[in-house]
């Protein structure tokens, strides 16, 4: 018994259970969305999408280096998170970004850490007053909830477009897979469960991003 319990914990058993529960809850909300009040759907959808984002984070860490067992193969991790439940971020873009974020020598360095909210002094002085006010507001709890999603997505678009324009290695493949994942997601949601795509964005993707930004605030 003790040996089984040990294998469960060493094999990241709780993470696997949360992953299964997350997908079951996600499917339940999608299937029964027509009988769920919109405000409960937004809360539930946001929580599920944010939890999925946390699991994506865990896939970069514990599912790659789970002690006591052979780490989960890259192809299996990619398959598990191919469907972009949170919609916005390609899986491999996040893997690349978060791996760079954890290079400790560069942590929070605005030139090297893609997840840093810090600014170089010369860049900060180059911003106009309105942008400075927005960035300062983004460092508050309310600002992170209201402004954060738009700021993060604008940074994502700007950075990834730059990578596409210079044909950076792997970026086109990453976005091709992401677009395919979005197509599959909306096929399941709209064709399979009758939920319009814009409702998914409103009730799942947007609140999920808001909650994810609160988690990392």
- Taking Cα atoms as reference points, which of 86, 76, 78, 95 lies closest to residue 177? 78
What is the structure's pLDDT at 179? 95
**Which token pair is 180?**
């395919």
Contact 31, 189 (CB under 8 A): no
Contact 193, 31 (CB under 8 A): yes
What is the structure's pLDDT at 100? 54
What is the structure's pLDDT at 145? 92
Q: How far is CA 164 from CA 101, 127, 169, in A?
A: 21, 25, 9
What is the structure's pLDDT at 69? 44
Contact 83, 95 (CB under 8 A): no
Mean pLDDT of the chain: 84
What is the structure's pLDDT at 114? 65
Q: How far is CA 59 from CA 51, 71, 122, 133, in A?
A: 12, 10, 36, 35
What DSSP string describes 99-158?
Answer: HHHT-GGGTT-TTT-TT-----HHHHHTS-HHHHHHHHHTTSHHHHHHTHHHHHHHHHHH
- Residue ranges in the chain modelled with pLDDT below 70: 1-12, 61-72, 97-116
Q: Give the pLDDT confidence of 85-106 residue by residue, as tens digits.
A: 999 988 888 777 656 555 555 6
Every domain of the chain and the residues it spans: 2-215
Q: Using DSSP, how many helices (H) and how many strands (E) does the chain show?
A: 14, 0
What is the structure's pLDDT at 84? 94
What is the structure's pLDDT at 15? 81
Q: Which residue has the tokens 């988690």?
A: 215
What phi and psi, each to the nearest 5 degrees, are found at residue 85? -55, -40
The backbone region for 72, taken as left when phi is positive above 0, alpha when psi lies in -120 to 50, beta otherwise, is beta
3-state secondary structure 51-76: HHHHHHHHHHCHHHHCCCCCCCCHHH
């Amino acid at each position: 018994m003790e040996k089984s319990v040990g294998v469960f914990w060493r094999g990241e058993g709780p993470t696997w259970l949360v992953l299964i529960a997350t997908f079951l809850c996600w499917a339940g909300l999608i299937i029964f969305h027509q009988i769920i009040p919109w405000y409960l759907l937004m809360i539930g959808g946001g929580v599920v999408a944010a939890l999925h984002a946390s699991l994506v984070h865990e896939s970069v860490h514990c599912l790659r280096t789970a002690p006591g067992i052979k780490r989960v193969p890259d192809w299996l991790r990619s398959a598990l998170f191919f469907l972009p439940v949170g919609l916005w971020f390609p899986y491999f873009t996040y893997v690349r970004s978060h791996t760079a974020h954890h290079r400790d020598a560069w942590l929070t360095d605005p030139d090297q850490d893609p997840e840093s909210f810090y600014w170089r002094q010369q860049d900060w002085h180059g911003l106009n007053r309105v942008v400075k006010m927005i960035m300062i507001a983004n460092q508050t709890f309310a600002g992170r909830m209201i402004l954060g999603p738009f700021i993060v997505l604008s940074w994502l678009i700007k950075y990834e477009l730059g990578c596409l324009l210079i044909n950076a290695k792997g970026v086109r493949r990453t976005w091709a897979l992401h677009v395919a994942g979005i197509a599959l997601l909306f096929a399941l949601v709209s064709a399979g469960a009758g939920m319009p795509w814009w409702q998914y964005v409103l009730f799942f993707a947007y609140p999920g991003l808001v909650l994810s930004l609160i988690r990392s605030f």
